[in-house]
Structure 1
């Protein structure tokens, strides 16, 4: 099988690792980021933990968890705007158990497909970190992401 130009773009990108034919795992985030390439379409899925999945030593009230997810969902609605291609679907954002899941599809510029997918993943990570609520004790990945943010600030 010959590689498409989209597959080549993902194979040379530092932020992705091939995980089977047409499937790439994001290596730059603690979240589960998967990209699937079929013909000229790129499907991006990013799974992030819900707030209660990263809070340690106490429970998160349902009303807080629901409000947190609603806010995250509203913020992630713009995820498709960070890509350079105009041929991209608005994201679907769902709550699946203890995860918030964003999915979208893009096509257009094969040489920019990997960069566009990474831009979406980075947007999801940054948006998720911005939504961390002060006052809780966090475990990973929240704790390590907050630590990285503090180090970058200093």
Structure 2
């Protein structure tokens, strides 16, 4: 059995403390957003990985109503910034697919890639999920009251980023 089989992927994800097994893959445990990873067979003895992260839309994360222009601009900026996730890894990763779409009150981010080393793939998948969360928090729009997981993340960023002096993460 090669290191790039789905069985080796299962072993790598199960031994990495950032993941918990689910019925159809692995849940990322290091982020506030819902992140999952699925490993499938790919050609030439490789494994294809799909990382999916669901985050709230800007409107779903705020107490106030957000106008269409702000919502659309925020979404377009988030999409452009998330495309750079492979640069955040310590591995050369080429994306086979990348997508950011709205699904009701969620933003669904998808990264698809193939790697030959399952342990490296687990680290890359974790990095992608954490990159989505960090990029999301960096892009929150000042002047709105946030709720839920986003409020917690913004509060944590404010506290950690400047010793508790307040202000937005940017």
> How high is the TM-score relative to the length of structure 2?
0.82
State which of 147, 150, 164 in structure 2 corresponds to 1:142. 150
Quote the offset at 1:107 in angstroms: 2.0
Q: Structure 1's 114 and 44: CA in aligned 2 closer, same or farther, altered over 3 A?
A: same
**Aligned residue runs from structure 1 range 1-154, under 5 A:** 4-20=7-23, 23-39=25-41, 40-56=47-63, 58-83=64-89, 84-108=91-115, 109-153=117-161, 154=163
Given that residues 77 and 90 in structure 1 are in contact (C-alpha distance below 8 angstroms), is that contact kept between their aligned partners in structure 2? no
Structure 2 Cα separation of the partners of residues 44 and 3 of structure 1: 15
Q: Which has the larger radius of gyration?
A: 2
* Deviant stretches of 4+, over 4 Å: none
Ranges in structure 2 where 5+ consecutive residues have no aligned partner: 42-46, 164-170
Structure 1's unaligned 5+ residue stretches are: none
